[in-house]
Amino acid sequence: MDDTEKSRPQLFDELREEVLASGVASEGQVVRIDAHVRESEPPVSRPVSASRQGSDGGEKEADTLERVEETLTPPPQKTAPAIKLRGRVLAVEDAPDIQRLVRLFLTSAGLEVTLATNGQNAIETAFQQVEAGRAFDVILMDMQMPVLDGYRATEMLRAAGYSGTIVALTSHTLSGERERCLAAGCDDYLVKPINRTTLLTALKGYLSARPHPS
């Protein structure tokens, strides 16, 4: 048994016997003994490093957490390539806010934009540019406008021999609206609110396929 495991009475009894046996003192004498007894200390629990905890188990847990994080983390979003175009567009629209939006979409793609506020203005501007040898590559025609709406303006342009591309812009989604726009002489039909990618994709097809109108 280790000294640290013995009780104090046991230690003093052993010391008394050793003193008597050595002859340092006899029975009945008072002897002062300075004894420093160390109480047994409870075992100290030491924290285990998280990186070493459970060796294989800890490493497996860390690997599992990494895989879970990779699974839950969404992949970086791929940005669609910017559409760049070249050409001249007449945008016919009476609403100022939509005028600004359409101009922004077109100019940011590299297009040259001229605005007209109604059908009558559109007809005059279109033929002025034809006579100047700078005909528009595409006319974006709002179909619901004051003074002269887009249906009648398109019919008059076609009747006068205008051959350029005319794309209808309309907020009407009723059945038969597309057919009505095409019957008036439009080449295509887009529904408001205007989506930038849809608009530029449609224009890209016409700008690359059509010669300058007359």
Domains of the chain listed by start with CATH number:
1-38 (no CATH), 88-209 (3.40.50.2300)
pLDDT in tens, 174-185: 788 999 999 999
Residue 12 confidence (pLDDT): 62
Count of positions (residues) in the chain: 214
Residue 188 confidence (pLDDT): 94
Residue pair 136/113 in contact by the 8 Å Cβ criterion = no
Residue 32 confidence (pLDDT): 60
Give the DSSP letter string of 72-129: HSPPPPPPPPPP----EEEEE-S-HHHHHHHHHHHHHTT-EEEEESSHHHHHHHHHHH
Residue pair 114/89 in contact by the 8 Å Cβ criterion = yes
**CA 157 to CA 161: how far, in whole Å?**
6
Residue 173 confidence (pLDDT): 74
Segments of the chain scoring below 50 in pLDDT? 48-53
Which residues are registered as beta bridge partners of 89?
113, 138
Residue 156 confidence (pLDDT): 98
